[in-house]
Amino acid sequence: MAGGSRAPGRSVTSKVLAILGAFDPAHPQLSLTELARRSGVPLSTAHRLVAELEEWQALSRAPDGRLRVGLRLWELGQLAPGRLQDLAHPWLQDLFAGTGENVHLAVRDGLEVLYVDKVHGRRAVPIVSRTGARLPMHPTGVGKALLAYEPEWFVKAYLARKLERPTPHTIIEAGRLARELATVRSQGYALTYEEMTLGSCSAAAPILVDGRPVAALGIVLSHRRVRELPRLVEPLLSAAAGITQACAASV
């Protein structure tokens, strides 16, 4: 359940946060009943709190009457610290301008990658990543680029888990994935071939500051043009180096 449980004694604040937490990339719009179920808030209470959240514009209604996150929350989100995005975005723009392919920036958050910026065009291959979305680390280029440079204890713990397999091409065998991460460290970048999404391949490079992976820069193209992937590595590494220097200079 996304927002929490029906535990007694929950404060009004925890209920409001559970309601807001019920929305995610897979559930951007919810009916009131769905919202109550996912948040664990009783329907009558959800009805009352939703009315107040709508009045404050934290929630709004889609044309079909379903609830969605409102503009007031988006405005507040823009106030969150975004130093990394500010430093990296010009490099993402340059990389997109030079390649015409989807470009994104991600950071590690727990056992997932969180996409914090993206530059794309209408002619680029559709991809599942979007700003604010989370995906597993092992099937994504940016995830592998980050995972390869994490401490040994973290990598071992990650590989010891039962890993999900989004496509038949996803590498989930611990030994094989460990060898893949060693290759990433050796060559300085990661490659994926339809491991997260059928039809998409990617290359990604870590942003290392004092040897620590603070982010990863990735580029995605159609599997039909997989032979072009090697030519994208050089501009990718150049952009990643630029972001690394900008981050180091800002410290």
DSSP-assigned letters across all residues of 44-94: HHHHHHHHHHHHTTSEEE-TTS-EEE-HHHHHHHTTS--HHHHHHHHHHHH
Q: Please, what are the domains in the chain? A: 12-77 (1.10.10.10), 81-249 (3.30.450.40)
pLDDT tens string 232-244:
999 999 999 999 9
Range with lowest mean pLDDT among 40-54, 64-78, 143-157: 64-78
Residue 91's pLDDT is 94
Contact 200, 222 (CB under 8 A): yes
Secondary element (H or E) of residue 140: none
Question: What pTM value is reported for the model?
Answer: 0.72
Quote the pLDDT of residue 71. Answer: 86
Q: What is the mean predicted confidence (pLDDT) over 183-190?
A: 96
| Model confidence band, residue 76 (pLDDT cutoffs 50, 70, 90) | confident
